[in-house]
Structure 1
Amino acid sequence: MGEVLGVAMEGKNYSVVHAGEFSALDQFETKSPGKVFLKRPLGLTGMEVSLNKIGPGQSAPFAHQHKNNEELYICIKGSGQFQVDGDVIDLREGTVVRVAPGGTRAWRNNSEEDLYMIVIQAPQGSLQTWSGSDGIIVEGGVSWPGA
């Protein structure tokens, strides 16, 4: 318990952390047990990302909004409920919820198993390009060691 997530590997154009299994996210020293923010260890500059383990019966300690950032909640395992502006959404593996900055949001795990989510936040309206318009195919193909 009490470990700090640090960079495992980095290069000129990348950084890597290994948080381990989602079931062990509460091993990290954070303000919210089971919630690990990746901005600082990865050096993120355009978004914040967190990995979340929410135990049975746990819920958000408060409802909240954002000033500028929209959030994307990706449920990767388990089930629970999400509330936006009073509307209740059932969560299960594969559920993805986008919330605009002004949306009042909260969540809870009302099941008997852990709920795992990835949460991404970025400034609303900041996406200027995406895969189809921003990607550049590099000549020369890919070479894998040992292949």
Structure 2
Amino acid sequence: MAEQPDFTAAANGLAIAATQIQKMQNLPVINVAAQLNRMEEHMLRMEECMLRMEERILREFRGLRADFTRADNNNFARMINSKVTNDATALEALLGRDGQPIQNFPATTAQIHELDSTAINNLLVAFGLPVGGRINERKNRFRRHIGLTVL
């Protein structure tokens, strides 16, 4: 004969289950909807924060791209200027820290010789270079910065 159910064990099991179900009333009330709303609000704040971070990163990236472009242009200009061998040869103008051509950039090395103290200081400031020293020292600082190796 096949094994028969144990009704006593089943009754005991149901009694244990009933006792545990009664204890459920002791659990604190959980407002799942309110918790979900708080979680959603938190996630929205996180998303807004991430969007601001993305915008800031994109601005920084654009700034870096502009800096690299300016640096590339200036390095190319310095290379051209390094080949200048006389006062009449045209200089390649460099870009300032703002990425714009430097105002009153001398067209030749002869024009560098003619610069007065204010003019050379303005050029040095446009490149973010120090303006200290005698005028010949400042002119030499400018010459080195724009790539001149001779003259």
Q: TM-score range, shorter-chain basis?
A: under 0.3
User: Is the radius of gyration larger for structure 1 or structure 2?
Assistant: 2
Which structure would you say has the larger RCO, counting Cα contacts within 8 Å and 6 or more residues apart?
1
Give the structure-1-normalised TM-score. Answer: 0.25
Give the strand-richer structure, 1 or 2.
Answer: 1
- The alignment's TM-score, normalised by the length of structure 2, stands at 0.24
